[in-house]
Amino acid sequence: MADFTLCNLCPRPGHLRNSVEVKQIDSIVRKFHSEKFTVWRCRLCGSLHSKEEIDSANYYHYYPFKEQKLDPWTWVAYGNRLRRLIREGVNQEHEILDYGCGSGLFVSFLHKKGYKKAVGYDPYVRDFADEKILGKTYETIVAQDVIEHVDDPRTFLMLLSQRLRPGGILCIGTPNAQCIDLFQPEKFALPLHQPYHRHVLSEDTLVRLGLDLGLRVGKIYHRYYFDTLFPLANSRFLQSYVRRAGNVIDAAFEKPKISMILTSPRLLFYALFGYFFPPKTEAMVFFRQENSRATKTLKI
């Protein structure tokens, strides 16, 4: 059984008992909203950890992200994500793995854009849970909003690096613990995302883990890929809308409450201009596998 009172990211582990930042956080999902989870910050690496062990299968069974559709807003946001991949050298001939693909929307988007060799894996979605996918190697691996969900981010990153071909590209998108104020939980409900976010890494920790594996660090983005000039499709609006709707992520996948938006000057302003006021809570880090396959293992 994992000990979530001990930081599993530091070479010299920090402990809950030494943390000066500990807070009880409400669940982000409506069905579990009355439940609270203990989140604490490691004094050594700045990463955040959720103390309680959970029944993942139960919580993911009711996960609202299953309701996400490839609508115009998602299409525009995925365009942002793809452009970043292209800048790093991804092309239509690459075999691409979207790890933690959910219902496979980004894979479907890539196929429509001509990236026919893209595949997805997600252990909580039956159609994408075939572990044979993980037996291959890939030129590009994308793990957007995944590493914070796993119980052991160090091992997870190592497994992804082992699936990279020499010279391959690894894209990790995740909240940045360094930019989350644990004592303003309502403001930071989305990046805290309890109980699904088990460990929210600081950007410095994520970079260090990649370097320990022999990966080369490339471009780092601090604007969430969902930020677009398209009305409603920006992270500032999404954050504000969810907060106004009771800080439950379910609201983002339900029919928009137009009256709530029109009667709130703040929401209406962010719906149109939120792109220019991005929350600084996200990091997307690009790594590249060296031409000779790395043989390093993470230092414990």
The answer as to whether 200 is a domain residue is yes
**CA separation (Å) from 95 to 92, 115, 147, 265, 283?**
8, 8, 21, 46, 24
Contact of 21 with 183, CB cutoff 8 Å: yes
Residue among 68, 17, 25 nearest 43 (CA): 17
- 297 pLDDT tier (thresholds 50, 70, 90): very low
The answer as to whether 294 is a domain residue is no
How much is the mean pLDDT over the chain? 94
Asked which of 4-13, 37-46, 236-245 is least confident by mean pLDDT, the reply is 4-13
**pLDDT in the model for residue 292:** 57
**Whether the predicted pLDDT of 271 surpasses 80:** yes
Residue among 249, 297, 265, 235 nearest 65 (CA): 249
- Round to whole Å and give the CA distance between 176 and 25: 17
The answer as to whether 217 is a domain residue is yes
Q: What CATH number should be reported for the domain holding residue 280?
A: 3.40.50.150
The per-residue pLDDT for range 135-182, each reduced to its tens digit, is 999 999 999 999 999 999 999 999 999 999 999 999 999 999 999 999
The per-residue pLDDT for range 203-213, each reduced to its tens digit, is 999 999 999 99
- The separation between CA 264 and the C-alpha centre of its own chain, rounded to angstroms, equals 29
Written as six digits, the tokens of 213 are: 């594996």
- Show the domain range for 147: 23-288
Q: What is the mean pLDDT of residues 32-39?
A: 97
The answer as to whether 17 is a domain residue is no
Asked which of 169-183, 246-260, 285-299 is least confident by mean pLDDT, the reply is 285-299
For a pLDDT cut of 90, what percent of the chain falls above it? 92
Residue among 47, 7, 9 nearest 201 (CA): 47
Contact of 113 with 101, CB cutoff 8 Å: no
Contact of 65 with 47, CB cutoff 8 Å: no
What domain count does the chain have? 1
**CA separation (Å) from 214 to 123, 137, 211, 247?**
27, 17, 5, 39
The answer as to whether 35 is a domain residue is yes
